[in-house]
Structure 1
Amino acid sequence: MRGITLIGAPTDVGASVLGASMGPEALRIAGIAQALRARDMKVFDYGNLLGPGNPQAPAEGGFRHLDEVTAWNRALFAATLDTLSAGRLPLMMGGDHCLAIGSISAVAQHCRARQQRLKVLWFDAHADSNTPASSPSGNLHGMPVACLLGHGPEQLTHLADTSPVLAPREVTMIGIRSVDPAERQFVNEHGIDVYDMRTIDEMGMRAVMQSALADVDAGTHLHVSFDMDFLDPGVAPGVGTPVRGGPTYRETQLCMEMLADCGALASVDLVELNPALDIRNQTAELAVELLESLFGKSTLMREKR
């Protein structure tokens, strides 16, 4: 049996819309632990991390809630590193996407200590690559990629033992369709691989995933950072920053099955689930279905070859 630890991070301090703080409990209500145990996973629920509340304050120095975001990410960094050190797969249940700074910083430090190659797949409608100079709002859930690449406040760029945490070649973005001009410039200048929605439309999801996973092998630590607004809001309404024109249910399930097939999955973020904006918890239930596919549930009837 494969060991997995659920880590709840109930906060929306990095977001512009309240509600993502209820995400972990919505996933539990939707039966996440039971579903993964049915996939022959040995599941341990770490419970919810503790951290400061959301002061709903205006931006200061280009950031909203920097101290609170830092506290949450430090707590998540420690919990993720402990889980990896114990030989278990951490599944962070957010919470908003600023939390990926803490989880991925821990994953990167873990990989460096073991001289293991890291690959991060960033499934999102947004590039999350704003900097303090370019962010129109100061919301830190729009800055995690930039922070992980070393562009951000020191308390977030130096959570791990080295900075930057990631090199641009270690990140691949999928599903992008809402990008600020400064973010576009940042992504292009850093040479980050991006499969935006036009690319998905032109190539098809299967070809996109084959290309994104082409350099992943048995020695790779694959981290999936999955924002629920990756999906079209007609499928997943319970998100704080919906963007029309996203992948369908079937396209997204194909992504999950192909990730499971590659055999390299070693850590996961599931973020930006907002029950306050959901309809009868259907987005949380959808998230659980996708996680089942990510961990091996397949719709394939024929024998795999």
Structure 2
Amino acid sequence: MRAITLIGAPTDVGASVLGASMGPEAMRIAGIAQALRARDLKVLDIGNLVGPGNPQSPAHGGFRHLDEVVAWNRTLYAATLDTLAAGRLPLMMGGDHCLAIGSISAVAQHCRSRQKRLKVLWFDAHADSNTPQTSPSGNLHGMPVACLLGHGPSALTQLTDTFPVLRAAQIAMIGIRSVDASEKHFVNEHHIDVYDMRTIDEMGMRAVMQSVLSDVDENTHLHLSFDMDFLDPGVAPGVGTPVRGGPTYRETQLCMEMLADSGALASVDLVELNPALDIRNQTAELAVELLESLFGKSTLMREPR
């Protein structure tokens, strides 16, 4: 049985609106542990990590809540590294997307120690590539990609002993459709692979996923960082920063099934679920359905070849 550890990270200190801190409990109410156990997975829920509250302070020095974001990411870094060292797959339940700095830093450290190739898939409506100099708000959930590539405060860019945590060639973005001009410049300057919604419209999701996964091999550790606002808000209303024109339910399920088929998935972030903005917990229930597909549930009727 494959072993998975659920790690709750109940904070919205990096976000623009309150509510993502309730995401882990919403997923538990939606039956995340039971659903994964039904897939013959050995699931351990270690509960919620503990960190500082949200002071709801204005930006200072280009950031909102930097100290609190650092504290949460350090705690998550340690929990993720411990989970990987125990031979288990960490599934981080956020919380806002600033938490990916801690989880991915730990994954990168783990991969280096075992000489595994790391590939990060960033499913999001946003590029999350602002810096303190370019962010209009100072919200750190808009900066994790930049931090992971070495552009940000040292307390976040140097959680590991290697700087930067990631090289641009290790990350691919899917579903992007809301990008500041400065972010567009950052992404293009660093030559990050981006499959925005125009690309998905033109190629189709199947071809996009085939391209994304084309270089995945048996030595690849695949990390999925999944922001619930990747989906169209008509499907997933419970998010803090909805953007119209996102992938459909079936397109997203296809992504999950193809990731499962790759056999390379080894760590997951599920973030930006905001129950305060949801309708009868439907976005949390959708998140659980997607994770079921990610771990092997399929609508495929024919026998796989």
Structure 2 residue identity aligned to 1:79 = A
4+ residue runs of structure 1 moved beyond 3 angstroms? Answer: none
Where does residue 214 of structure 2 map in the other structure?
A: 214
Where does residue 94 of structure 2 map in the other structure?
A: 94
Q: How does 1:76-87 map to 2 (within 5 A)?
A: 76-87=76-87
Q: How does 1:83-232 map to 2 (within 5 A)?
A: 83-232=83-232
Partners of 2:61 and 2:12 in 1: how far apart? 20
Q: How does 1:280-295 map to 2 (within 5 A)?
A: 280-295=280-295
Partners of 2:217 and 2:47 in 1: how far apart? 32
Partners of 2:278 and 2:196 in 1: how far apart? 25
Where does residue 242 of structure 1 map in the other structure?
A: 242
Partners of 1:267 and 1:25 in 2: how far apart? 20
Query: How many angstroms does 1:21 deviate by?
Result: 0.1
* Secondary structure of residue in 2 paired with 1:45: strand
Query: How many angstroms does 1:26 deviate by?
Result: 0.1
Deviations 1:100-138 (A, max 9, x none): 000000000000011110000000000000000000000
Structure 2 residue identity aligned to 1:271 = V
* Secondary structure of residue in 2 paired with 1:242: coil
Q: Percent identity?
A: 87
Partners of 1:217 and 1:6 in 2: how far apart? 26
Where does residue 252 of structure 1 map in the other structure?
A: 252
Partners of 1:127 and 1:38 in 2: how far apart? 34
Partners of 1:47 and 1:159 in 2: how far apart? 23
Deviations 1:255-286 (A, max 9, x none): 00000000000000000000000000000000
Partners of 2:128 and 2:170 in 1: how far apart? 16
Structure 1 residue identity aligned to 2:212 = A
Deviations 1:69-122 (A, max 9, x none): 000000000000000000000000000000000000000000001111000000
* Secondary structure of residue in 2 paired with 1:206: helix
TM-score (norm 1): 1.00
Deviations 1:157-178 (A, max 9, x none): 0001111000000000000000
Partners of 1:149 and 1:274 in 2: how far apart? 27
Taking only aligned residues, the RMSD between alpha carbons, in angstroms, comes to 0.3
Partners of 1:255 and 1:16 in 2: how far apart? 28
Deviations 1:189-222 (A, max 9, x none): 0000000000000000000000000000111000
* Secondary structure of residue in 2 paired with 1:133: coil
The answer to whether the aligner puts 1:27 opposite 2:27 as a matched pair is: yes
Partners of 1:53 and 1:156 in 2: how far apart? 18
Partners of 2:130 and 2:110 in 1: how far apart? 26
* Secondary structure of residue in 2 paired with 1:246: coil
Partners of 2:200 and 2:49 in 1: how far apart? 36
Structure 1 residue identity aligned to 2:116 = Q
Structure 1 residue identity aligned to 2:207 = A
Where does residue 5 of structure 1 map in the other structure?
A: 5
Partners of 2:108 and 2:181 in 1: how far apart? 28
The answer to whether the aligner puts 1:52 opposite 2:58 as a matched pair is: no
Partners of 1:218 and 1:290 in 2: how far apart? 24
Deviations 1:209-238 (A, max 9, x none): 000000001110000000000000000000
Structure 1 residue identity aligned to 2:270 = L
Partners of 1:119 and 1:162 in 2: how far apart? 16
Where does residue 299 of structure 2 map in the other structure?
A: 299
The answer to whether the aligner puts 1:71 opposite 2:63 as a matched pair is: no
Structure 2 residue identity aligned to 1:84 = L
Query: How many angstroms does 1:46 deviate by?
Result: 1.0
* Secondary structure of residue in 2 paired with 1:137: coil
Partners of 2:159 and 2:212 in 1: how far apart? 27
* Secondary structure of residue in 1 paired with 2:5: strand
Deviations 1:130-154 (A, max 9, x none): 0000000000000000000000000
Structure 1 residue identity aligned to 2:136 = P
The answer to whether the aligner puts 1:18 opposite 2:18 as a matched pair is: yes
Partners of 1:240 and 1:121 in 2: how far apart? 21
Structure 2 residue identity aligned to 1:92 = M
Partners of 1:206 and 1:161 in 2: how far apart? 37
Structure 1 residue identity aligned to 2:18 = L
